[in-house]
Amino acid sequence: MLRVEQASAQIDGVTVVRSATLEIAKGGTVALIGRNGAGKTSVLRSIMGFLKLTGGRVTFDGGDLRDVPSHRRPFLGIGYAPEDRRLNGSFTLEENLRFPGEVMQLSAAELRRRMELVYGVLPELHAMRTRPAAGLSGGQGKMVALGRALVAGSRVILLDEPFQGLAPVLAQRYGAALRELRQVDRELGLLITESNPSLLRSFADEIYVIERGETSRQDALPDSSLADSDLH
Amino acid sequence: MFLQTVLLATLDGLSYGAQVFLVAVGLSLIFGVLRIVNVAHGSFYAIGAYVAASFGLLLAASGLSPWLSYPAMALSAVLVGVLLGGLLEVTLLRRIYGKEQVLQLLVTFAVFMIFEDLQKAIWGVSPYFVNTPLSLLGTVNILGINYSLYQLVVVPAFAVVVLLTLRYVLRSTRIGRIVTAVTDDREAAAAMGVDAAKVYLLTFMIGASLAAFGGALASGSTSLVPGMGSGMIILSFAVAATAGLGRIEGAAVAALMIGLGRSIAVYTAPEFDVLVPYLIMFVVLLIKPQGLFSVPQTRKV
């Protein structure tokens, strides 16, 4: 469904993504593992179009996304939860969740369907829905960011280091929510980045490792690099 | 008469504060969303005033109802904001978002100088005065003072309408939430489907229209002279800085403070009238360096 083919991208003249290649199939769960600074976020930002590609391409359903501006990509069904949550503090929790639907002017029925999906997977958010987002804890914020990405993208969602900075209990809860999501929506594609491979190994169908902006399928990687990526 | 002086100063301050508010709130809105300090903002005020005055003269010459000069004011403001503001945003400002502030200041300052000369080229240097809006409504007598109804009611009323509309739109509508989201984080907003470039353009047009509207209202009661834009931009900077840049209600309060302070000075110590706004700003910033109404930044991580 979503393919990154030999993509390269630069930030201020420094190449941060080097011929990265990965594919997310319909209903697939893909993990992108790499240390801090390896280029995980840059790959996601390239998929969203925030980084302009200097080579290669990103395709969705076979169509090149080059001419699709970033803000049109959610309309295709791509949702993105940045690592640092980036909720709107002056909105309530629910306003944050509904916001992408409001922007895209989804029909009331479609928005309701997506909100039900979110509250179904993350029921704890429902009780807090009228709280201002500025008052949420880091872990709660991550859950809202996941929910918001689900409202934005109905076909594939990109989660940037969702487990980063979560207390173990919350990380477990977050993992359970993702499993639940997998059960409820079998068509949805998931791309999750993480620096700690052990968190996703049991969960992902496919694992890619990224190092210095270069991706490789995990099977093809020598053990030493894997051990490396465990060290952070 | 002491009481009459106080009353006059208050009424003048209200009317003047209302005009300053319109300009300052536009400046503040543009800064809040686009993160750009637009030195050319005062030019929109001046050009709005000149365009409204020209419309006034046209109306007088054409023999149409002079009452049309009020809608003509709003029309001039929108024209200036949308056409001139839009042109500036699309051709120039778009290239300098996120660049160093020095560059932004230099570019917008250059635009300001170009606009100043354009005004002189188009409208000349002799004062313009179109008092139809003022004379149409006549005056009222308050405690022995004859005061024009236009300055007493129309100008402040428009400022209040603008304030309430902006507040309502920003807090309670879809557009407002979109603007807020872009202000917070352009990239995150784009990931939610927001066309940030469009929001920037629209915000700039609205901000410029507000300044032009301030000018259009001023054209009804003051004579237009070259340099009126520079005076206003400095004053509205003072208001916006006193309020905390990007704060809308704050701009209203600060504009009132500075408008009143200035007109009190005009009547009691005229040699200081230029100084008073800065004194107020100085004292406020000394006590609250982020401005009167700044809110603590919510944590991002």
Residue A4 has a pLDDT of: 94
- B228-243 helix and B41-62 helix, angle to the nearest 10 degrees: 130
Q: Decide if A114 touches B, using CB distance below 8 A.
A: no
Is the alpha carbon torsion for A79, A188, A162, A138 positive or negative?
A: positive
Q: In this complex, do B181 and A71 lie within 8 Å of one another by their Cβ atoms?
A: no
Using alpha carbons, select from B71, B56, B45 the residue that is nearest to residue B210.
B45
- The reply to whether A201 touches chain B by the CB within 8 Å rule is no
Q: Which residues of A touch B178 (CB under 8 A)?
A: 103
ipTM reported for the complex, 2 dp: 0.88
Chain A residues closer than 8 Å to B184 by CB? 86, 88-90
B41 or B278, higher pLDDT: B41
Which residue in B255, B219, B216, B221 sits closest to B151, CA to CA? B221
pLDDT confidence of residue B93: 95
Q: Is the pLDDT of residue B300 over 60?
A: no
DSSP 3-state percent helix, strand, coil across chain B (nearest 5): 75, 5, 20
Residue A169 contacts by C-beta under 8 Å, 6 or more apart in sequence?
none
- CB contacts of A85 in chain B (<8 Å) are 301
pLDDT reported for residue A218: 78
Give the mean model confidence (pLDDT) for residues B85-106.
Answer: 94
Task: Say which residues have a Cβ less than 8 Å from residue B37's Cβ, sequence separation at least 6.
Answer: B27, B31, B101, B104, B105, B108
Which pairs from A104-109 meet CB under 8 Å and 24+ separation? A104/A74, A104/A75, A104/A152, A104/B193
A84 CB neighbours in chain B (<8 A) are: 300-301
User: Which of B68, B41, B46 shows the shortest CA–CA distance to B55?
Assistant: B68
Residue B66 has pLDDT above 80, yes or no: yes
Q: Closest residue of A to B179, CA-based? A: A103
pLDDT in tens, B117-134: 999 999 998 898 888 888
B162 close to B22: Cβ distance less than 8 angstroms: yes
Residue of B180, B191, B300 lying closest to A74 (CB–CB) = B191
A207, A188, A205: which is closest to A196 by C-alpha? Answer: A207
Q: Where are the domains of chain B?
A: 2-287
Question: Best residue in A11, A85, A88 to probe B by mutation, most B CBs within 10 Å?
Answer: A88
Grade residue B65 by pLDDT with cuts at 50, 70 and 90: confident
B300 touches chain A (CB under 8 A): yes
Whether pTM exceeds 0.95: no
Q: Is B296 on the interface with A (CB under 8 A)?
A: no
Q: What Å distances lie between residue A87 and A195, A232, B165, B213, CA to CA?
A: 23, 27, 26, 35
Q: Name the one residue in this structure whose structure tokens are 């999501």.
A: A181
Q: How far, rounded to the nearest angstrom, does the alpha carbon of residue A14 sit from its chain's CA centroid?
A: 24
Query: What is the pLDDT averaged over residues A11-27?
Result: 91
DSSP E strands, A143-202: 156-159, 189-194
Judge whether B220 and B21 are in contact, CB under 8 Å: no
**CA gyration radius, chain A:** 17
Paired residues of B148 in beta bridges: B139
Q: Give the best residue of A71, A97, A158 to mutate against chain B (max B CB count within 10 A).
A: A71
Give the residue-averaged pLDDT of A28-34.
92
CATH of domain B2-287: 1.10.3470
Question: Is the model's pLDDT at A221 over the cut of 60?
Answer: no
Average pLDDT over residues B173-187: 91
N-terminal to C-terminal alpha carbon distance within chain B: 60
Number of A:B CB contacts under 8 A?
66
- Whether residues B193 and A69 touch (CB distance < 8 A) is answered with no
CB environment B218-253: b (16+ within 10 A), e (fewer): bbbbbebebebbbebbebbbbbbbbbbbbbbebbbb
User: Residues with Cβ < 8 Å from A223, sequence gap 6 or more?
Assistant: none
Closest CA in chain B for residue A79 = B191
The C-alpha atoms of residue A125 and residue A133 are separated, in whole angstroms, by 11
